[in-house]
Amino acid sequence: MKKWAHNYSIVNFWAENVFFILWMLIVELALVPYNYLRIAINILKLVSYDDCYLFFFWVICGLPYLLFKGACCDMYYYILILKDYKLDYGLD
């Protein structure tokens, strides 16, 4: 019975977390354009005329960076944290 209860709790845990993982992915992807534009505006405010290449570098490399480093890495660590659940055995 304990084995069945444990398996049921694991299936229930991941059934709930699929919703949360998808919601987190949607939120992360929705924030990418906002962050992209916000960082581009901040670069334009801070750089001088001689350093305008930084803005063009961000225009080219910013979106892939935000998609990989922002969305993918955040989702990886989010799922890693979800996988590291602690089970308390022996609390009968």
pLDDT of residue 34: 95
For the chain, which residues make up each domain, given as ranges?
A: 2-83
Judge contact between 32 and 66, C-beta under 8 A: yes
Note the pTM of the prediction, 2 decimals: 0.72
pLDDT for 20 equals: 93
Per-residue pLDDT in tens (0 to 9) along the chain, 92 residues:
888 888 888 889 889 999 999 999 999 999 999 999 999 999 888 888 888 888 899 999 999 999 998 889 999 999 998 887 766 665 44
Q: Quick one: pLDDT at residue 92?
A: 44
Instruction: Count Cβ atoms below 10 Å from residue 45 Cβ, excluding itself.
Output: 7
